[in-house]
Chain A
């Protein structure tokens, strides 16, 4: 809500009301189409990368499995005796119908494998995302307008959060809170206790990075003329910070959400490994070490899908939220 308020004050109220009746359909359509193109490109690159790897495709897809009858089964499923273009069309066709292929190492449909564990990763990533956002806001708001010493101390802390490897943070947290003080369990996904350490591990780097963006943006906003207007109305300084400066600062953050999702998914691979949690990260690691290529391809495409969907939806929301963009349709 803060975002809407901030935006409204920036423009004339009448203009906002008039255009809010009509959504920027052309822009939304363009965004959806470009999202689809990105997805298609990801699928295409994945397919042709597989073709480019030295070695027989059936061998690559089979991983280490060499038992009799397997290559024939793979050939049949992937249509390996057809032309590359026919294989490509069939691959696209299967993906469109939600068929992610078969894992020959695990002898299961890849879609089932992912579906069984995806919620654990989503739970971890969403909670970590929320925690990092809250932490970032607190860090930014607390440090703004303070002395140079305080600000640079906070900034250093954020840099440390951003730059220490996730793996190391995870092990360190485990050593202190699980092995030493035994406050939280080492591994698994049983109850909230087992979520605490992985969430903190995953949230810290994102929080550090976000806090820097938010503070810089808030500082810039505070120099804008409308803040003078707000202050002149006698609004308290904390309200100026929280409602107006922060509201505006969150707009640039929205554009970063795609990258943040990527960081959370990437970090989840390491976090899940360290904490022995089920999830996409664990699937990915097992697939890479087990050379379970159909699963690796599916994970890549899944990551691309999440990224495209999230950034498209955010972009559309962004257009709706920020009336300045609507004028450009």
Chain B
């Protein structure tokens, strides 16, 4: 629950009143109060902060990295045209303002003036055009290319105006411009030889509040404040240069080690707090504990509706309702995450709250559905049978994606549905190559996954669209029309209608069983202030607003 309070007070522009109100509610609800109190303290410029982070990025190029955990680090030097605040609104950043033509095909983007890349190059329309053209060109093999499939080109109008044109109206386009994958790099960085594009070197140059100062692979990366920086995004808590003189990210892949490093004051702030260590920091004197917002997809079971016995909607619904999800999530994550009702996170403005309490833990109903579907016999192990075949559904969980004890959660579900409804949920850990293969042949049965946040049109296109990965071989099952509808209109109410229908459809026919909403967790000593989460990513923000009273 903390994240609703913690994420918002960081909004500077026009949110001060709202922020004060939230501080009050924060105090009233108790636990969150200690961290919110500090927002009244006056930030200090200077000093340094050391992070202990769980993952060492394999690629530091914002346009190429596909790794969620690399983004908070990359955001220190790489910035986007548009910012996104926690209400889902777009704010100025490297672009001051933009106008969208009535047909939704042309974006006139007015760039902020006086911005320079840290190598001294002036940030202008030509640099923006160079970046977007580069990213959109398949020959450059940039990860960001996938978000720019509608993009047809950029034209330099004058030094501070660039005109972007689309092939078809795209309500997700501003989200693409706010994405870290379309961050604007110095044109010189684009010209680097292909093999040097990912490395953290001084050749990888952006406009951000920090500049790379030192990198030791496998150990740490450090940044120094960019003294000239004066173009913070609209959602930031302050303007001007970063408060900190320097910031270091140390790579500590072991959760226990991160915890120990924080308690022994060897680092100031850690990310990825182990569930069992939460109690050491949450509401403890001397520490802060914050959780990020959740706007990506829930951790969920995607069910292949074309493979028996899950081709029968009654079997899928029985699985959906055959276990006590609230209890299992609470038991496993000790209240650090919320049980899910829908496919997208509750902090998304497009979250369908009507789904709350509408499904789950209806064992009698689930048993009736299975009886009705003809699974009436029982075998020696207590599982249901039909015509001598056991009621079995295989869950293939690719081993590399298993984290946060999600496999343990699935095993708990497995035990409950066996006990409650006599269904054998066969949870197997597989290889990712095996999954790729099953995907190509459309023989996958149940695929557990979660997608990092993005505009819901893009999220739903990836999961439920025929261009997405799961239903590519079953266009009839795809929700292409609704997804297209949500993407073509820019009216939020219209979009919400389409999104609500998608969210309800997939849960109603139980092709998709949401389990819980993953969130980022951060713990720090109480000498670190200004912890925030970047709404476009859900992950911790860069270190721009951090300050220390050490």
Contacts and interface: CB of A to CB of B under 8 A. Distances in A.
A285 B55 CA distance: 11
Contact of B260 (A178, A277, A290): A178
**Interface range for B:** 35 or more
A59 B146 CA distance: 17
B505 interface: no
A68 interface: yes
Contacts of A113: 217
A289 interface: yes
B230 to A, nearest CB: 32
Q: Which among B56, B142, B194 has the highest number of chain A CB atoms within 10 Å?
A: B56
Interface in A55-99: 55-56, 59-60, 64-70, 73
Interface residues of A, number: 53
A178 B59 contact: no
B284 interface: no
A21 interface: no
Q: Which among B142, B197, B264, B267 has the highest number of chain A CB atoms within 10 Å?
A: B264
Given A108-B198, A276-B252, A174 B143 contact: no
Contacts of A179: 260-261, 263-264
B219 A69 contact: no
Contact of A289 (B218, B256, B400, B440): B400
Given A67-B146, A279-B218, A286-B56, A107 B194 contact: yes
B218 A120 contact: yes
A289 B399 CA distance: 9
Nearest to B267: A186
B183 to A, nearest CB: 16
B312 interface: no
Contacts of B58: 105-106, 286, 290, 292
B64 interface: yes
Contacts of A180: 264
B193 to A, nearest CB: 10
Contacts of A185: 266
Q: Which among A60, A107, A175 has the highest number of chain B CB atoms within 10 Å?
A: A107
Contact of A105 (B59, B264, B440): B59
Interface in B256-309: 256-257, 260-261, 263-264, 266-267
A312 interface: no
B59 A54 contact: no
Interface string B221-255: 00000000000000000000000000000111110
Contact of A68 (B145, B196, B267): B145
Contacts of A189: 216, 219
B195 A65 contact: no
Nearest to B260: A179
B218 A272 contact: yes
Interface of A: 53-56, 59-60, 64-70, 73, 102, 105-109, 113, 116-117, 120, 171, 174-175, 178-180, 182, 185-189, 272-279, 282-283, 285-286, 288-292
6 contacts: A66-B146, A70-B141, A106-B58, A107-B197, A276-B254, A289-B400
Given A60-B433, A117-B217, A189-B216, 4 more contacts: A59-B433, A107-B197, A186-B257, A277-B219
